Structure 1
Amino acid sequence: MPGLKVLPSGRPGRGRLYVNRPDGLTVAWYDRQANRISVLADDQREAVLAVLRPYLSGDWTIGPPPVPSRAELRRLHLPPDQDLAPNRPGEALLGELAYGAPGGGRARHRMRRQLAASQRTGAELDLLEAEDWRVVHDVPLPGLGLLDHLLIGPPGVFALRTVPGRRQRAQVGDLLLTVGRGTPAPDPRWIRGAAARASRALASPVTPVLSLTDASRVEVAPSLRDVLVLQPPTLTATLRAVPPTLKPPDVEALFTAARMTSTWLGER
């Protein structure tokens, strides 16, 4: 079929190339992770192979699309306004700053600082999607507020709260976190509660994580053992080193549940 075009998937790291007709209709796709070509009509097989051949490697297979899993069917029927997956890091803060956040200039400055920290951590987490990880930003937790990031990958599920270090010393204890000479904040307690809430909602263990950005030095109390305290840019390297506990289908099933607003709004 003349005029077929090969286009990458919308989000990086998904491992798919789509073959589209000139009118935009998809006729096939190549899953680079599974090394499989799915063709919607068998009479288009040779044309699809012709345009995909430069991208093929190894022992690839070709055939009709596989039967979707239960998790994939739930995702396909998810209305856009109930899908958290498109959220950008700091999505809520972006909206508040764009439409006039209350509280004056000092409050807006704090929000911009928090947004920059969330975006830095989120950008690092998004890079893990190329390695079969999945991430959801700005997860609503009724009664607690927003969880900055929920990360799902082979080592398990991680709930992350981002804290700006402001180029000062940060001290993290069992219950409180202090940056510079600022007022101690209950971030360790908060992220424990958020991780517990996420664990109930997803029916899976969730590890609480504090991500401290731009701190000059981080001191962690030896007694703090249930909360990971990490810093960009070594954050992702530390998470990659955690032993795997989940298989790819488990990661996808948890991601499907995590991206649904109803998963969180029904959890108290």
Structure 2
Amino acid sequence: MTGLRVVPTWRHGQERLYVCRTDGRNIAWYDREAARVNLLSDESRDDVLEALGPFLTGPVAVGPPPVPTPAELARLTLHPDDDLAPNRPGEALQIALDRDPGPAHRLRPDPRRRALLAEQTVGDALDRLDGAGWHALHSVPLPGGDRVHHLALGPGGLFAVHTLYARKQRVTVADPMVALGRHEPHPLLRRVRADADRASYALTAEVRPLLALVEPSEVRVTAPLREVRVVAGAELGDLARLGGVLKPADVEALHAMARDRNTWSRV
């Protein structure tokens, strides 16, 4: 067997090195923490160990995986091109800006860059919840060119997170309208709820809508909100205190489903 490649990933703060064929299928993975190389087929042992040679740090156990969970099996059979887990916060905006940076002489900042900063700020905050049993996916594509900015999955449930750059501005929320400073209000909460509804349909599980405001000077909510949560970006860490909704195995299974690009093609 030739052409094997090694792809590093991070899961719950621990590094794993997956060994892939040329078609992208995984055939083994190296768990540094456990000092173990897990093989899906013993026939590939020599080739896998040769590919992992530069990465092995000391003696390792080699053998079949210890009863992989359904979520792990789903991850192993997922083609890298269909795996959304490696997406960076603001992935879609970053790609758009790389392709078309816009004129350098703009008098006003490109609004896409502010939106990107907001998604990166919120995405980083969600990624920091990993140690508390949460997963975050970023720039989840939806049919028609739409996307969910972030999907958070953890013991406290599922959240479709929409970000809004609001630095040093007062935000007024009058469901479904959201206004920044003196700008005209827009029915943004309809979009936030619609994204959550589409995610619920794709995952066949309840996904709650959440609007994350980045660095607002003040947030004023004029009436009780229906279903949706509105938080400042700095408050996203409070999600770690939520629990009692999903068991760890359910979180892993839903994460395995959500990271598959094909899951979202029917919504």
Q: Calculate the TM-score normalised by the size of structure 2.
A: 0.77
Q: 1:28 to 1:198 in 2, by over 3 A?
A: closer
Task: Decide whether the 8 Å contact of 2:10 with 2:16 is kept in 1.
Answer: no
Paired residue for 1:29?
31
Amino acid at match of 1:100: D
Indicate yes or no: 2:69 matched with 1:89.
no
Paired residue for 2:153?
152
| In structure 2, C-alpha distance between the alignment counterparts of 1:39 and 1:183, rounded to whole Å | 57
| In structure 1, C-alpha distance between the alignment counterparts of 2:29 and 2:152, rounded to whole Å | 32
| In structure 1, C-alpha distance between the alignment counterparts of 2:130 and 2:216, rounded to whole Å | 26
Deviation, 1:253, is: 0.6
Paired residue for 1:58?
none
Instruction: Give 3-state SS (helix, strand or coil) of 1:137's partner.
Output: strand
Sequence identity percentage = 40
| In structure 1, C-alpha distance between the alignment counterparts of 2:28 and 2:74, rounded to whole Å | 21
Q: Structure 1: which 5+ runs fail to align?
A: 1-8, 42-49, 54-61
Paired residue for 2:260?
260
Deviation, 1:16, is: 5.2
| In structure 2, C-alpha distance between the alignment counterparts of 1:27 and 1:78, rounded to whole Å | 14
Paired residue for 1:193?
194
1:39-67 CA-to-partner distances (Å, cap 9, x unmatched) read: 669xxxxxxxx9589xxxxxxxx985212
Deviation, 1:199, is: 0.7
Alignment of 1:38-49 (within 5 A): none
Amino acid at match of 2:150: H
Q: 1:156 to 1:144 in 2, by over 3 A?
A: farther
Q: 1:16 to 1:86 in 2, by over 3 A?
A: closer
Q: Structure 2: which 5+ runs fail to align?
A: 1-7, 20-26, 43-56
Task: Decide whether the 8 Å contact of 1:144 with 1:194 is kept in 2.
Answer: no
Q: What is the RMSD computed on CA atoms of the aligned residues?
A: 3.4
Alignment of 1:101-180 (within 5 A): 105=106, 109-143=110-144, 145-180=146-181
Task: Decide whether the 8 Å contact of 1:101 with 1:108 is kept in 2.
Answer: no
Amino acid at match of 1:230: V
| In structure 2, C-alpha distance between the alignment counterparts of 1:91 and 1:150, rounded to whole Å | 13
| In structure 2, C-alpha distance between the alignment counterparts of 1:177 and 1:248, rounded to whole Å | 35
Amino acid at match of 1:150: L
Amino acid at match of 1:213: V
1:72-121 CA-to-partner distances (Å, cap 9, x unmatched) read: 22221211211111110111111111111579947961000000011000
Alignment of 1:238-253 (within 5 A): 238-253=238-253
Deviation, 1:221, is: 2.8
Deviation, 1:14, is: 3.8
1:161-211 CA-to-partner distances (Å, cap 9, x unmatched) read: 000113110011211110001121221111111101111110111110000
Q: 1:106 to 1:178 in 2, by over 3 A?
A: farther
Task: Decide whether the 8 Å contact of 1:173 with 1:188 is kept in 2.
Answer: no
Indicate yes or no: 2:10 matched with 1:11.
yes
Deviation, 1:146, is: 1.3
Deviation, 1:17, is: 6.5
| In structure 1, C-alpha distance between the alignment counterparts of 2:192 and 2:247, rounded to whole Å | 26
Q: 1:106 to 1:70 in 2, by over 3 A?
A: farther
Amino acid at match of 1:264: W
Q: 1:244 to 1:169 in 2, by over 3 A?
A: same
| In structure 1, C-alpha distance between the alignment counterparts of 2:140 and 2:120, rounded to whole Å | 15
Instruction: Give 3-state SS (helix, strand or coil) of 1:11's partner.
Output: strand
- Larger CA deviation: 209-218 vs 75-84: 75-84
Aligned residues: 240
